[in-house]
Chain A
Amino acid sequence: MSIFSILSQKPWTSDQAKIDDKHSGKSSSMPLPRVALYVSMIVMGVLFTLFSVAYIGRMAYGDWRVLPEPPLLWFNSLVILMSSFAFHKATLSLKENNNRRTREYLFLAGALTLGFITGQLFVWRELVSFGYFVSTNPSYAFFYLLTALHILHLLGGLIAWLFVVYKSFTAEDESSNFRLSVNLCAIYWHFLLIVWLILFTMLLLT
């Protein structure tokens, strides 16, 4: 039901009461963890958006310097894209009830994510070795800040990932709980992939 039709209800009338008495009390039939993930993703989206707004706002000032783009960044982007894809494959094998395959893809996704994080740290080292420090120019500062924030979100995801991998060994094959967890992880990874692609585009545009 749309928010507008909800807001136009007249809960005090007896006609509306007949309808309302049958209401289950839930606004959505989604399971709780899924709602929780969606709401969290909205909040994270707001956070990244505000950082981006600050970034674009700060860019307008005269002292802004163009950020060098280490080629490694392209490679890293490919890695995180693949980890997202591995998660996607994991959900597909889940549909085929192929638990072993699912687990393999889960491991692959995790490994690729760790690879991405390591890659990002190498980018940092490279920049530092060129003498691009946090305090050198706001564009570098933003780069460190945004990538660090993104990595933190991935690390949070990896904690969830650990639980899922653990479940993949212990849960019953058909456990809907396990399925849900894998699906939610996949969604979160796609989300962080999109965030990264947006950040990366923004960094390229400097």
Chain B
Amino acid sequence: MSESIIPESELEEVELYHPKSWWTEKVFSQDAKLIAIQYGLTAFAIGFVALVLSWFMRIQIAFPEMAIISEGTYYQFITMHGMIMVVYLLTALFLGAFGNYLIPLMVGARDMVFPYLNMVSYWTYLVAVLVLFVSFFTPGGPTGAGWTLYPPQAILGGTPGQETGIVLMLVSLCIFIVGFTMGGLNYVITVLQARTRGMTLMRMPLTVWGIFTATVLALFAFPALFVSAVMMLFDKLLMTSFFMPALVEFGENLSYGGGSPILFQHLFWFFGHPEVYIVALPAFGIVSDLISIHARKNIFGFRMMVWAIVGIGALSFIVWAHHMYVSGMNPYFGFFFATTTLIIAVPTALKVYNWILTLWKGNIHLTIPMLFCLGFIVTFLNGGLTGLFLGNVIVDVPLSDTYFVVAHFHMVMGIAPVLVILGAIYHWYPLITGKMLHDGMGRFHFWITFVGSYLIYFPMHYLGFIGVPRRYYEMGQTEALYTSSAADLNVFITIAALAVGFAQLVFIYNVFWSAKNGKVAEKNPWKSTSLEWQTPEQPPIHGNFGKELPVVYRWAYDYSVPGAEDDFIPQDVPNEKVKLAEGYKELGVEKT
């Protein structure tokens, strides 16, 4: 038996903050777990708004003669839907909610390193959400500039919401970024400096690797959005001409002149592309862990998985201009960005192979989290492949601004990460609430969501091929250009979208119903090795771990280790303490 000498804890036990009143315990809490839940609920609340907006848009597209919303409203709904989904829902959920809940628990810390800052981060986020939401009720309504907010149209008359909507949008984004940065500092420094003894970086679960790398990306990318938002605010409010060229509006010369809308596009996409990976990397990490746990097998190619996460993160900063192929850029420039875009597909494809190889000959349990992971792989693969189409300049030019693009990005960064989030909630719900989510409702939710999403987005590729443009509230006269199947397809897609929407209502009901009436979860119900399930209490209480922090003896993927009686060995169990299976005298060594 090897004896392991464990160093004295170098981290002096930090004084935990102890709330003194109901307010500081339950509302202005500094406990990362509660902050995570606050982040999660807020994100879901505003995300629900975005979902409802999509129903209106879908009904309008399918039944234009009903005219349920006007063309201006349609623009406003697209914009709010897109921005909320990408920034206020997905980013906040992955980093704010999952980051806060999982990082301290998974690395063996009692809390984030700066709990107070962490609390301020959430309340700042809430303010950002409220500012955005208020724009629905201001004169002129929310902005209809498209989620990309391209100037000059974003701030000119004629674009809905140019009165106050656009200002509130930009201000809200700035507030969001400030709040995120406070949280981001916490996530990064907690991972670097507050891990427990024995937890080397390479022993961290891939979930933490994904969230950590995504946070680093966000700290580099969000400043670009901040810069463009501030400069556009100047253009709007102080009549500067950072982005605004000379313009004539209704026969009148505007005082703008000389600015460059393309400059905005560069700044925006320098943020916008990494943003895709800010959402995707945590999803990659979580999916890797869920697949490994629910297939009772160690993740295939662990190191490659880490390298791919880091590599994708780095590469994601040099591909941004593939969103600007039709902006009239220099062809050599386009060639460069097409090349980098295709290169980034390599580590991405590698991850997909590794997931599949992990499943290969695994002991696959078709639990709900596993179902969502399988759904993710198929969806992400689909979206990734269409990305290769759009990454090539000549293929992109005719497909640009068609429904092909809508199909691509919903597959790859809409549906795929959402499937992961849902799977992750089914997986960690027992840890958070101590109850299991209702299985029947869960399976119903999965199948409708997965199959339904496919039925929504798969036909859109075809719509794109025949040239149906995106961001049109109806096809109108142009309908004659397309086969009548386009109109029929639109009806079909809308029905699927409403079904998927309904399934989410079932999910929400399930979440609240199970919190009260769900089956009490046994301890560590999925038999997972990572530290968050090894806390003395489930759900973990303030301070996470009991009197002493756990000590880590292994990586997070010791599943089905030959020689061990159980098919998993938690990270905080030393070799000496592993119960051996019959016929073994040591892990991996059979008795002779």
Contact = CB atoms under 8 A, between A and B. Distances in A.
Contact of A10 (B220, B234, B239, B303): B303
Contact of A138 (B193, B203, B241): B241
A25 B196 contact: yes
Nearest to A47: B223
A63 B257 contact: yes
A36 interface: yes
B167 to A, nearest CB: 16
A135 B255 contact: yes
Contacts of B10: 24-26
Contacts of A43: 181, 184-185, 219-220, 223
Contact of A22 (B7, B263, B302): B7
Interface string A42-57: 1100110011001001
Nearest to B185: A39
A11 B223 contact: no
Given A32-B189, A141-B242, 20 more contacts: A6-B202, A9-B303, A20-B552, A22-B7, A24-B7, A32-B193, A39-B185, A39-B188, A40-B185, A46-B219, A57-B266, A58-B263, A61-B258, A61-B259, A63-B257, A63-B258, A64-B258, A134-B234, A138-B242, A141-B238
Interface of A: 6-12, 14, 17-18, 20-28, 32, 35-36, 39-40, 42-43, 46-47, 50-51, 54, 57-58, 61-64, 134-135, 138, 141, 145
A25 B108 contact: yes
Q: At the interface, is chain A mostly helix, strand, loop or mixed? A: helix
Interface string B1-19: 0101111011100000000
Contact of B260 (A7, A22, A28, A58): A58
B195 interface: yes
27 contacts: A11-B200, A11-B554, A12-B555, A14-B2, A20-B200, A20-B203, A22-B5, A24-B10, A26-B192, A26-B193, A26-B195, A27-B195, A27-B201, A36-B113, A36-B189, A39-B188, A39-B219, A43-B181, A51-B227, A54-B227, A57-B266, A58-B242, A61-B259, A61-B260, A62-B258, A141-B241, A145-B234
Contacts of A9: 200, 202, 303
A4 to B, nearest CB: 10
> At the interface, is chain B mostly helix, strand, loop or mixed?
loop
Contacts, number: 154
B558 to A, nearest CB: 8
A27 B192 contact: yes
Interface residues of B, number: 64
B367 interface: no
Interface string B183-226: 01100110011111111111100000000000000011001101
Contacts of B260: 57-58, 61
Nearest to A61: B258
Contacts of A6: 200-202
Nearest to A57: B263
A61 B554 CA distance: 58
Contact of B240 (A12, A21, A61, A138): A138
Contact of B230 (A32, A42, A145): A145
Contact of A46 (B189, B220, B263, B306): B220
B86 interface: no
Please give me the 8 A-B residue pairs with the lowest Cβ-Cβ distance, nearest first.
A63-B258, A25-B195, A141-B240, A11-B555, A135-B239, A47-B223, A24-B10, A27-B192
B114 A36 contact: yes
B416 interface: no
B231 interface: yes
B39 interface: no
A23 B185 CA distance: 23
A25 B199 contact: yes
Interface string B224-268: 101100110010001111100000000000010111100100110
Contact of B197 (A7, A23, A54, A61): A23
Nearest to A18: B2
A191 B528 CA distance: 46
A42 B223 CA distance: 11
Contacts of A39: 185, 188-189, 219
A205 B516 CA distance: 66
B302 A24 contact: no
Nearest to B561: A12
